[in-house]
A = this chain, B = another copy of it.
Amino acid sequence: MSEETGDIQVLIDLMARLPGLGPRSARRAVLQLIKKRGQLLIPLADAMQTVGATARECLNCGNIGTTDICKICENDKRANGQICVVEDVADLWAMERSGVFHGRYHVLGGTLSALDAIGPEELRIPRLIDRMTAENVSEVILAMSATIDGQTTAHYIADQLPNLKVTSLAQGVPVGGELDYLDDGTITAALNARRAL
């Protein structure tokens, strides 16, 4: 039994529910917060209040922002006819960090999963199909994870868009990857998709 007082224990218990933090790191984080009250604890509490009050999903694509229509969907320069379909907002952010894609996104909010009873209606798939007529879409790029559920979802979406150019991310050796450390599936995919130099 620890003697931390109630308020501090409440904060530790809440912090321990964040992904990547367990009870031990939550305690460390809370001690750090209390030590850096002015620089960290108060600004963090304020930022959480702000985000809690303003964060919402884009009504068009499912991205998270502070407006009903996100900055990417509002940006006319990005209306180049390409829509990149991702599972989650984290994947959208990862694509944006690469800086290589200049079209718009569509965030599904997960993958189809028979085990978890997640069908097309639970995801943002009907909305994606609506966008095909509403926007002048020339290509749909499926950027799902290379997992069974991700690939099942990609194939399902491709089937729903028969008259469109539908592509998916290439599979192969990651940049910097050493063959010795790659799994058999990746080596097989890289070999099958080999290119002439």
Interface residues of A (CB under 8 A from B): 1-8, 10-11, 14-15, 17-21, 25, 27-34, 37, 40-45, 47-52, 54-55, 63-67, 70-72, 88-90, 93, 96-97, 99
Contacts and interface: CB of A to CB of B under 8 A. Distances in A.
A45 B46 CA distance: 7
B47 A93 contact: no
A2 B97 contact: yes
Contacts of A11: 44, 47-48, 50-51
6 closest residue pairs by CB, A with B: A45-B48, A20-B25, A11-B47, A2-B96, A18-B29, A14-B44
A66 B18 contact: no
Contact of A65 (B8, B18, B55, B65): B8
This chain: how many copies in the complex? Answer: 2
A90 B31 contact: yes
Contact of A51 (B18, B34, B65): B34
A19 B14 contact: no
Given A8-B64, A90-B31, A14 B1 contact: no
User: Which among A10, A20, A47, A48 has the highest number of chain B CB atoms within 10 Å?
Assistant: A48
A65 B5 contact: yes
Contacts of A88: 31
Nearest to A15: B44
Contact of A10 (B45, B47, B96): B47
Given A48-B48, A64-B34, A93 B41 contact: no
A169 B18 CA distance: 34
User: Which of A31, A40, A51, A88 has the largest count of B CB atoms less than 10 A from its CB?
Assistant: A51
A112 B7 CA distance: 31
Contacts of A28: 19-20, 90
